Structure 1
Amino acid sequence: MLVDVMRFSDVSSAFDYKAGDDILLQIVNRIHIIFGEDLILGRISGDIFGLVFEGRLTESEMQAKFQCLVEHFKTPLYTNDTAFIADFNVGIASRTRRSVTATKIISLAEAALKQAKNNQHQNCSFVNDNENSVTGRGLALKADLTRAMKNDELELYFQPKVNLVTTEIIGAECLLRWNHPLDGVLFPGTLIEAAESYNMMNELGHWTILHAFKRVRCLNKKGINITVSINLSPSQLYDSGLPRLLSDLLQEYEIQANMIELELTEDVVLSNSLMVKRQLDEIRAMGVKISMDDFGKGYSNLSFIRDLHLSAIKIDKTFVMDLEENPVNKAIVKATKLICDAKNAEVVAEGIETVQQLNILKDINILSGQGFLFSPAVKFDSFVALCETGNFKQLLADKVRSAAS
């Protein structure tokens, strides 16, 4: 695994090489804490580290290690009384044959790292020595993805959106998973990487929308009438057939338009594209809700927030996870709440993991949220069971007792 520290040059430019070395040393120490002292870790170049994991690990297992790395580095590093949040581009190469040299594996990891840097949706890229190159891996993914859509290897998981006061489920975000026959469960980044690279994003997007509508219809038949959010990629909003697709599916499955919410990332919502604006206006006119995901993760332009008609803004989890200790994060969440109140838009807090975070959000009068405190994204049948339970009051009470004991 090659780990490239993003924006590391900012530290050296703002301070000096000693500050940069201090940050790098903190990164090394934290990586050892995450993965153990037995990890083989070395500095490849200025801001790139090499990590060697022993054993035969699948792509999904390596993706899990990448996610673990990302989560642990959301807590800032400090040098000269200044905070630095380390983000990474990661290239992973797996050796499955003893005959493959270390030099070859490093070369493959470098190619994977280059692809990760060029990928707008996923900062991690994987390749193994059975592929001639990362391009070979991509071609294999293309064939696999085509097969997956035909053979029902794709699946939608659902993460509950909860009323933070009553703890009742008031909605859900559907998230795509790929039950790969060899690599196990793959997450959206791998899917989107393959789909975007080979112009299959609209096809994958259509699959996701269609199956989300089918699940909403199934929920309605069970008497579960909640709003379901569907993530859209940037390229989908440039598909002129998107409004017609949504309109046809609303009629076919007899679903009220306000039970469907389309989640867009900041870069899409804040784009100055006339086509995107027309598409959003047409979709909104149907009654379908439009929300912004991961608010604050990028460079949110408040003038665009002012002018757009959003039904909800989802506060990125990076602002939620340190609420107990970071007064600035709390102030940002409060300010977002004030803006949304003026726009008559809902505020949804993402990434709620502790009862303390929940209580702070309720004090700020944030009424909706989601996160592992309540439930991760789960299979559809498990989500239905959660809905039929009614609320998470007992679960929260158990967690409070457990924390107190």
Structure 2
Amino acid sequence: MKEEHTAFTISEQKGFSIKDSNEELVNLFQSWDDIHMGETKAGFPGLIRNLFNALEETSHVVISDEKGSMAYVSESFCSILKYRKEELEGKYYTELRDRLMTGSDRERLKEVFLSGTNYETETMPVSKDGNPFIMKTSIMPLVKSEEGITKFSIILHQDITRLTQAEKAIKQLASTDNLTGLPNRGKFEQDVAEYIEGDKSLQRSFAVLLIDLDRLGYYSEILGQHTGDKLTRNIANALVGLNHKGIQIYRYGANEFSILLKEPESASEAEGIAKDILQLFNSPFSADGDELMLSASIGITVYPDQGNTQEAVINHAEDAMHHAKEAGQANLQWFRPSIRTKQKEKLIMERKLRAAVENKAFQLKYQPQIDLKNMAVIGAEALIRWEDKELGAVSPERFIPLAEETGLINPIGDWVLEEACRQAKKWSDEGYSLRIGINISPLQFQKRGFVEKVNAVLQDSGLEPGKLDLEITENHLLRNREESLRTLGKLKKIGIRISIDDFGTGYSSLSYLQRFPVDTLKIDRTFIKDIINNSKDQAIVTSIIQLAHNMNLRVIAEGVESSDMLPFLNARNCNEMQGFLYSKPLPPSEFTQYIKIIPPAEILTGS
């Protein structure tokens, strides 16, 4: 080495100069090379120089003494750190990391230099212009004295800054939802696990909220994925905009978000956040010019009270969220142990329901619809029934919501449509001219190709379109009004009759009722059951009948169970009724016997 590069003296070394260090290093290399090569060259001997050339092809080389003072630095090491040799040689290696190294880190490296042990780590030397590098660093003893004391150590560096940055970017990408930019489900589960692991001594609590968005998947299917994606991003932005302290929001699934609330002051804080979220969905969200209504179902758990592992906390939040959906959507539920029992029962029912769909193990029963003026059977409503060997008779109120949640409602709805039309055609061929009413699930009504499906069933069965009456609930017609209007228009063009089911229980938007091409209003049974004694119900039923007649619509009163109701309904010219007063829902053979006693009237058209 050049003499002028060794003028710097480290005061802490108490008289040990870099010149002394270099001379001893060169002498040791010289002696070692003489023995093995028998030749010397200027500077470092031949073998040592060849060795260093090979090392410097792959690494940035530093040689330090037992105190960590750099006796030799390679040109590449100087170049990458923007130092001249004389600025580095003689300085302590640890000085390159002072700004990024803790005291314990420096002490560890000092021990390595003194003990002469092999050591591998990642170091972060800082260049002269302040730019930090990430180096994969290997330290190993190079020369030992006869007493076994390490005189010099070689330090090999490989710049892994870009590799580390790339790995960090990949991890960031892997933990981020591409659509919303929020952390994804994997990151959520990781954060929950890490918070629990870090809590073992601190006893910190946190709350988990799982949010399921009803109808988000439907809008993506009906309006297209592009619109669905915009809607999802708008919802994500609205959730982030709540701006509650201490929360992190994640995209948990296609229709789900999750929230981690660290150290809530009380359970009411988590519930307050949930209520604010529900409030967001009281107004429609815009996407590509459409105003779209959604609702949220939220499940809440708190660690450690309602689960002390990652799996338990998240599973319990999911159970609570599913319970919220079953309770009618647009609400929140806290986890309770009893929910797990209900979830297990639900899984059993789902498994059996799938088998029933596959085997078409359902029955249709038919409830007569009576023309009050002529006291004749004018139609029948087809009602699905399911009886399982183990579960017994399962109410439609139980299995229909499950079918809608799992997507089984579409094959079930198709079967009902096909079977009811086939039966109605059979009755027609036997001389019984009946209108057949079929309840249509909103998911079935909103599915692409629904009109084509109905038309195909009519063609296959041979049933006249005018004898098919599709019953659709008011609320679901009004949720996506423009699309509903288009679908109803196509159905009416075929000649199918349309009834609004459960009228009076929903929005009752008169402006849209005027636009909807419907034929009949069905007054919900909740207004009929107390009609004799309840003056408010009397007023509502009277108003509905008058409204329907003013709009040239027919009216059916559902749930008529006593003869006392008939004078009231007749006095207001209610057109039709159905209920236990005349008959419960009947199997096809019993229904045929019934209409032989009460002959069906001809279908009334245009009224």
TM-score tier, shorter chain, comes to: 0.5 to 0.7
1:278 counterpart = 2:515: no
1:213 counterpart = 2:414: no
Distance 1:186 1:253 in 2: 29
1:254 counterpart = 2:462: yes
Q: 1:298 to 1:274 in 2, by over 3 A?
A: closer
- Which aligned pairs between 1:45-124 and structure 2 lie closer than 5 A? 115=323, 118-120=326-328
The structural deviation recorded for 1:349 is 0.6
Distance 1:184 1:172 in 2: 26
- Which aligned pairs between 1:144-155 and structure 2 lie closer than 5 A? 144-155=352-363
1:349 counterpart = 2:557: yes
Q: 1:145 to 1:114 in 2, by over 3 A?
A: closer
1:165 counterpart = 2:373: yes
- Which aligned pairs between 1:1-400 and structure 2 lie closer than 5 A? 115=323, 118-120=326-328, 133-390=341-598
The structural deviation recorded for 1:233 is 1.1
Unaligned runs of 5+ in 1: 1-107, 124-128, 393-405
Q: 1:341 to 1:132 in 2, by over 3 A?
A: closer
RMSD: 2.7
Distance 2:534 2:457 in 1: 44
Distance 2:402 2:572 in 1: 41
Distance 2:453 2:513 in 1: 27
Distance 1:372 1:230 in 2: 19
The structural deviation recorded for 1:221 is 2.0
**For residues 99-150 of structure 1, what are the alpha-carbon distances to aligned partners after superposition, in whole Å with 9 as ceiling and x for unaligned?**
xxxxxxxxx9xx69972664549x9xxxxx9x96444333332321222123
The structural deviation recorded for 1:243 is 0.7
Query: Are the aligned partners of 2:523 and 2:556 in contact in 1 as well (CA < 8 Å)?
Result: yes
The structural deviation recorded for 1:266 is 1.5
**Which residue type is aligned with residue 200 of structure 1?**
L
The structural deviation recorded for 1:329 is 2.2
The structural deviation recorded for 1:156 is 0.8
**Which residue type is aligned with residue 440 of structure 2?**
L
Query: Are the aligned partners of 2:357 and 2:408 in contact in 1 as well (CA < 8 Å)?
Result: no
Unaligned runs of 5+ in 2: 1-315, 332-336, 601-607
The structural deviation recorded for 1:174 is 0.8
The structural deviation recorded for 1:236 is 0.9
Name the SS for the 2:469 alignment partner: strand
The structural deviation recorded for 1:189 is 2.0
Q: 1:280 to 1:239 in 2, by over 3 A?
A: same
Distance 2:402 2:540 in 1: 35
Aligned residues: 277
Name the SS for the 1:386 alignment partner: helix
Name the SS for the 2:564 alignment partner: helix
Name the SS for the 1:115 alignment partner: helix
Q: TM-score, normalised by structure 1?
A: 0.63
**For residues 174-215 of structure 1, what are the alpha-carbon distances to aligned partners after superposition, in whole Å with 9 as ceiling and x for unaligned?**
111101111211121222122122222211111111111111
1:9 corresponding residue in structure 2: none
Query: Are the aligned partners of 1:262 and 1:288 in contact in 2 as well (CA < 8 Å)?
Result: yes
Name the SS for the 2:499 alignment partner: strand
Distance 1:191 1:118 in 2: 11
**For residues 323-355 of structure 1, what are the alpha-carbon distances to aligned partners after superposition, in whole Å with 9 as ceiling and x for unaligned?**
222233222222212221122111001111111
Distance 2:402 2:349 in 1: 6
Distance 1:184 1:154 in 2: 12
**Which residue type is aligned with residue 521 of structure 2?**
I
Distance 1:200 1:348 in 2: 29
**Which residue type is aligned with residue 283 of structure 1?**
L
Sequence identity (%): 30
Q: Which has the higher contact order (CA 8 A, sep 6+)?
A: 1
Q: TM-score, normalised by structure 2?
A: 0.43
Distance 2:390 2:396 in 1: 17
The structural deviation recorded for 1:307 is 1.9
Distance 1:194 1:339 in 2: 35
Distance 2:367 2:327 in 1: 26
Distance 2:358 2:587 in 1: 20
Distance 1:216 1:360 in 2: 31
Query: Are the aligned partners of 1:172 and 1:226 in contact in 2 as well (CA < 8 Å)?
Result: yes
Answer with 158-167 or 254-263: which moved more. 158-167
**For residues 221-263 of structure 1, what are the alpha-carbon distances to aligned partners after superposition, in whole Å with 9 as ceiling and x for unaligned?**
2211111110011111221121111111111111110100111
Answer with 179-188 or 323-332: which moved more. 323-332
**Which residue type is aligned with residue 333 of structure 1?**
V
**For residues 273-296 of structure 1, what are the alpha-carbon distances to aligned partners after superposition, in whole Å with 9 as ceiling and x for unaligned?**
432222221111111111111111
Distance 2:538 2:584 in 1: 24
Q: 1:375 to 1:273 in 2, by over 3 A?
A: same
Distance 1:322 1:189 in 2: 22
Query: Are the aligned partners of 1:167 and 1:391 in contact in 2 as well (CA < 8 Å)?
Result: no
1:92 corresponding residue in structure 2: none
Distance 1:301 1:261 in 2: 22
**Which residue type is aligned with residue 447 of structure 2?**
D
Query: Are the aligned partners of 2:422 and 2:463 in contact in 1 as well (CA < 8 Å)?
Result: no
Distance 2:599 2:527 in 1: 25
Query: Are the aligned partners of 1:169 and 1:387 in contact in 2 as well (CA < 8 Å)?
Result: yes
Distance 2:321 2:430 in 1: 46
Query: Are the aligned partners of 1:166 and 1:391 in contact in 2 as well (CA < 8 Å)?
Result: no
**Which residue type is aligned with residue 372 of structure 2?**
L
